[in-house]
Chains A and B, each alone.
Chain A
Amino acid sequence: MTPTEPTAISPSTPSTAKVAFVLERYGVLVAFGGLILWNAVFSSGASTFRDPTNLRNILNQNAATGIVAVGMTLVIVVGGIDLSVGSIMALAGASAILIMNSLLASGMSEWTAVACAGSIAIAIGLACGALNGLLVTLGRLPAFIATLGGLSAFRSITLAIADGGELRADATEVLTLIGRGGIPLVPGSLIGRSTALVVYWNILLFFAIAILGEIILSRSRFGRHVVAVGGNETAARYSAIPVNRVRLITYVLIGGLASVAGLILTARNNSMSSSQLGLLMELDAIAAVVIGGTSMAGGRGRVWGTVLGVLILAIINNMLVVAEVSPYWQGCVKGAIIVLAVLIQRGRR
């Protein structure tokens, strides 16, 4: 390396500017570390929190949100937003059950029926995303408006095909294997138990998608294009970047991810509620993205931050539940955290 580099990197004097810079960039990591430290070491309920089963359950309850939030990160970095994710989740869940039930009725084996229904549901999610993306790119609608339309329409379609009620799967064996099964990943000897801890499939899926998302955003050509389009769309167009294609792909991706999240929740319960599944998911996902340090203005963001954002919200929720705080107050705490996170990370101008 060139000899000038070390001097350029090492600061001559530590200053408050450096501290502010670290806080701006790694504040979410500090907050996450602090939360873990408090809950696992200092809090009176530390041993309960530390319990591997508890940790697994926290992850299990938030895997779907996490998967959607990974997609939301890409959409927000490209300079857009997707409000329709919750409705896509519901539409995917409802169509999966309806298709599966009718395939079962026609005598198909349970495994095949689940596989077919799942694939079609994911295709529907991708199509919903493509529709959003086309409205935003070719239709030149603001993303907020286009996906607000989706939020309303996809939910409405779900209510219509489910007749506004709950849909139940006619066979539950395979769904249970998928929704509540997993692999005994953590050996019992490690955590002082007689049996190994089963890590659920959806948790593994969440981590896999998060890692993939991080690699795509920070390392891939597509990710670089996403950042460029979100940072300055005009300059991106002038820089020979296929702006519309890049934006379209992010919406298709989040559509697919939202349907996967919807399927996870549907499989876990062997059923779905057409009015409740995925309700307000867009807000949770956006909150996680923002807490994770991604700029709402686009052009700047990271998936790992979003993952920590999901976990921070999950842990705080867990704390509130353990402390028996009324659920009515939980939204207030969440709101305060979102605002605080942005205030800290806003940076100095």
Chain B
Amino acid sequence: MRPVEPPQVAVEVDGIIKDFPATRALDGVTLAFGKGEVHGLIGENGAGKSTLMRILAGLLKPDAGAVRVGGRTVSVGSVAEANALGIAMIHQELNLVGSLTVAENIFLGREPRTMGFVRRRRMEALAASLLVHVGASVDPGAVVERLSVAEQQLVEIAKALAADATFLIMDEPTAVLSARETKALFSLIRRLAASGVSIVYISHLLPEVLALCTRISVLRDGKLVTTLLPRDTSESSLASLMVGRELSDVFPPKRLPPVDVAPALELRSLCVEPTVFDVSLTVAPGEIVGLAGLVGSGRTESAEAVVGLRDVGRGQVRVFGLDVSFRDPREALATGVAYVSEDRKGRGVHLDMSCVANVTLAHLGAYGRFFPNTAREQSAARRWVDRLAIRAPDITAPIRTLSGGNQQKFAVAKWLDANPRIVILDEPTRGIDLGAKREMYRLIAELASQGLACLVISSELPELLGLCHRIVVMRQGRTVGVVGEGEMTEERIMHLAAGVDAAPRPSA
């Protein structure tokens, strides 16, 4: 486990210190990134990974320390300066202009021109070849906001490649990708690295990091713990390096699912235009049901239709045996159904509002009919901070000041604070670290044991396998199978989800 030196240094940071109002995010980090290497950067939420990369990408200025590119000390004061140095960052949260087309986004500010006029055809042709390069099957002329999150992510990657980046920072690029898309991305990353591009790869998925990266650096509390070769380490030793202690089992023990209880939530042949055709499932009180499927299989759309965010076409939604048709999440919550969105930044939390206000927002009336009792709100927020081990130095500060994982915990806390009887969690652990995931799993299991009906949508199969009593699998807008406790394997679910099952149903 000896730290190792890179062959030829491309970019180096030396003694970087960065202070935020209440915390020191980086505390003297010195690290060298080699030319053509895939450098894994791991650490818990708030360890400083994103902060360090934002400094390299010109989004933040360090309070002390130097950045060197090719041995020369440089000042990376803006994204433009970073780009000029060949540094590009693909953000965890998407950064595209929704109303522009794919091609326009990829070439934003660098459009191929003749005498000032954009050469649209040429731009779209170039975009098309880049999209093929990253394995995305989207039309260069499509408007970005119509694309799925996964497709947008690929467009983002294509955009960075279009800028001739030689130093590519990827912050959780696979969080929104399906297994197939992830595989394509990895081979792309390896190709790029082979051609001399340096890649910094930030991820919480340790197996990915171990499989992909040539070296791995671990950050903890703003300090570099160590840099290792993948062959010298393992998932569990990386995990304990990240948290600074040994981690016991990630998943809580499964309690027996309730038997013969009337379902709390029941979907019967649900149809939601234009992507969901036939979804049927049940969730009993105290049961944790997983909803698996590839990105674009209609999982989120089905969940949103349940709480009235989308119009239900045919089919029924039943809550405790009664047919319901909620017009909005307000009505759904009044009946005890909560939906925690997968899109934390856009739909889950209000970034400019305080942590406290976010926690109580969904049912503020419980804290006072006209005037919420601030003291009670704060004590509720503190309870969730303790219960979910949220790192929030000041809960009255805007939630924006927290790291993504801690925001996510608050996003979940907001709904649990409303005491739902049925909760639909859409990618509840996206972008949060292992320690936080463990707490989230424990919380879900505990709530279920108290009688809450939980439907968990996730693209991480191990998560569903470890947590759920049953897993419902969707493919192309239809439920194609239910996998019970005894038969749960990743292969079985993937086969169902990808449509290569022994007895596949005819697809739409």
Contact = CB atoms under 8 A, between A and B. Distances in A.
A224 B364 contact: yes
A182 B302 CA distance: 62
A239 B362 contact: yes
Max chain B C-beta neighbours (<10 A), residue from A11, A225, A240: A240
Given A235-B349, A238-B348, A224 B369 contact: no
User: What bracket does the count of chain A residues touching chain B fall in?
Assistant: 20 to 34
A220 B371 contact: yes
Interface in A221-260: 221-222, 224-225, 227-228, 231-232, 234-242
Contacts of B350: 227-228, 231-232, 235-236, 239, 299
Contacts of B346: 232, 234-235
B403 interface: no
Interface in B403-419: 414, 418
A20 to B, nearest CB: 12
Contacts of B19: 12
Contacts of A12: 19
Max chain A C-beta neighbours (<10 A), residue from B357, B371, B414: B371
Interface string A5-16: 000110110000
B466 to A, nearest CB: 27
A9 B394 contact: yes
Contacts of A228: 350, 353, 357, 361
B370 A221 contact: yes
B362 A224 contact: no
B339 interface: yes
Given A220-B371, A221-B365, A232-B346, A239 B329 contact: yes
Contacts of B394: 8-9
Interface in A269-318: 299-300
Contacts of A234: 346-347
A299 B352 contact: yes
Nearest to B369: A221
Contacts of B365: 221
A193 interface: no
Contact of B329 (A8, A232, A240, A299): A240
Max chain A C-beta neighbours (<10 A), residue from B328, B347, B361: B361
Max chain B C-beta neighbours (<10 A), residue from A8, A225, A237, A239: A239
B347 A221 contact: no
B482 to A, nearest CB: 28
Interface in A196-229: 219-222, 224-225, 227-228
A97 B22 CA distance: 59
Contacts of B348: 235, 238
A170 B245 CA distance: 86
Nearest to B19: A12
Nearest to A17: B21
B341 interface: yes
Contacts of B364: 221, 224-225
Nearest to A11: B21
A242 B414 CA distance: 17
B195 to A, nearest CB: 35
B369 A238 contact: no
B372 interface: yes
B363 interface: yes
Given A232-B346, A235-B346, A239-B414, A220 B370 contact: yes
A228 B363 CA distance: 13
Contact of A237 (B329, B371, B372, B414): B329
Contact of A231 (B22, B347, B352, B363): B352
B179 interface: no
Interface of B: 19, 21-22, 309, 328-330, 332-333, 339, 341, 346-353, 357, 361-365, 367-372, 393-394, 414, 418
Interface of A: 4, 8-9, 11-12, 17, 219-222, 224-225, 227-228, 231-232, 234-242, 299-300
21 contacts: A4-B393, A8-B393, A221-B370, A221-B372, A224-B372, A225-B364, A227-B353, A231-B351, A232-B347, A232-B350, A234-B347, A236-B350, A237-B309, A237-B328, A239-B350, A239-B414, A240-B330, A240-B332, A241-B330, A242-B330, A300-B352
Given A8-B394, A9-B394, A11-B21, 8 more contacts: A8-B393, A225-B364, A228-B350, A232-B347, A235-B346, A238-B348, A239-B350, A240-B329
